[in-house]
Structure 1
């Protein structure tokens, strides 16, 4: 029986039977403003990741990321270009195995709207983080996508 290595929230490698893995596309936003990026911290590990969500079968990536950012930041962002795509194999908190095809889009604040962060859940904390202070080891995932966002904005 073939196995695939998935990673739990702590980064531990766990072999999982290939047929036990569920596929789902996901979309994340790289929202950079004033040399800061909007990130979410996984409270159990203290590691950062870009804000985003798994796609429902009826959602398009741009619909899903707009809706998610409306929930966490009180703003419907302007969707820019697709910055980065990667596959992730992980175990969620209930130890379910997933293969996510993650799409990262560059986002911008509409000119007439302020960003207001809201509480989302007990699992993550959303914050503006200085780009200058970020290191790869601080990320659960999405570091390369943030770097792509910096390149796009010529930072």
Structure 2
């Protein structure tokens, strides 16, 4: 590492930003046939883990603000993958539920992670280590100062 603290190659933020854009670009051609963008894919992953979920719960799981999440949910609803409705137990809460086609989409989506691993060409153990490191960075970044 050079001594220049402001050198681009020394910036963690630069490496994370370029890596994120590059990896997300690998997903694009795999998600297009499913009529999903990468952010919509993340919403679907959260719903495949647990369905139904409140909008608040989804926002917390995805670390997204309601203003960002709401348009994603509207587009997923228009695609026919999810339904949004008021909770029967709390009318203030909006619940998101997978439709039958949203549930069925999971079988197609299960083919995506192995394809991403193959395209990256890195050992799975290295990707697991990287993921753990990213989780540590996220935790450190959101920790109160």
- Asked if TM exceeds 0.5, the reply is no
Higher relative contact order by CA 8 Å / sep ≥ 6: 1 or 2? 1
TM-score, with structure 1 as normaliser: 0.27
Structure ID, larger Rg: 2
> With structure 2 as the length reference, what TM-score do the two structures score?
0.29
